[in-house]
Structure 1
């Protein structure tokens, strides 16, 4: 059996995936610990994309294109036996550890807002 530690800034609501006749029933709330795992990010400007859209004064809109670079992870404890850490997708990608997961297979409300997940993903 595993213990889940939520290192995101919000509670995680885990819904059934239907494997136990529990499709979309709230099974578990994993509260945020208040400790947030983050990864350093820097951006280098690569240029701009000019759009066909214009502002009211006739000028074309340009959108900056940046290249993201990721660095040190903070807030992620060392692995512990029988413990799984829930983090953001980008932290999981950078950590590349077997004990780190991120929410996936989202459950949405009637306004299409994410209210929970049915599964966790590994990188």
Structure 2
């Protein structure tokens, strides 16, 4: 299986494989007017996600993953207990991807 990373940053798996960004898939958002320093946000369509291709899994952010029912998308397992973090608590690598 080939993975195409559609997040804005490289994804590193715990085994050392690195998937560099190769485009960006996003979910469109609409914001209300600001009142009392707050607004509401609603989400729309996924943009930047190519049509399915045989043998390709698209790595996307968790919000894009949640916004689509496609079986050819995965997201980094950032909540997994085996994530590797640096001294600041930032994720350095993930053990795997999540799928539908």
1: CA distance, partners of 2:32 / 2:97: 31
Q: Aligned-residue CA RMSD in angstroms? A: 2.0
Q: How high is the TM-score relative to the length of structure 2?
A: 0.82
CA distance in 2, matches of 1:67, 1:122: 29
In 1: Cα distance, 2:30 partner to 2:20 partner: 29
Q: Which residue of 1 aligns with 2:99?
A: 122
Counterpart Cα distance in 1 of 2:12 and 2:17 = 6
Aligned length: 96
The residue aligned with 1:32 is: 21
Query: In structure 2, what is the equivalent of residue 12 of structure 1?
Result: 11
Q: Which has the higher strand share?
A: 1
Specify the SS of the correspondent of 1:118.
coil
Partner of 2:68: 95
Runs of 4+ in 1 over 6 A off after TM superposition: none
TM-score (norm: length of structure 1) = 0.68
Residue 70 of structure 1, CA deviation: 1.2
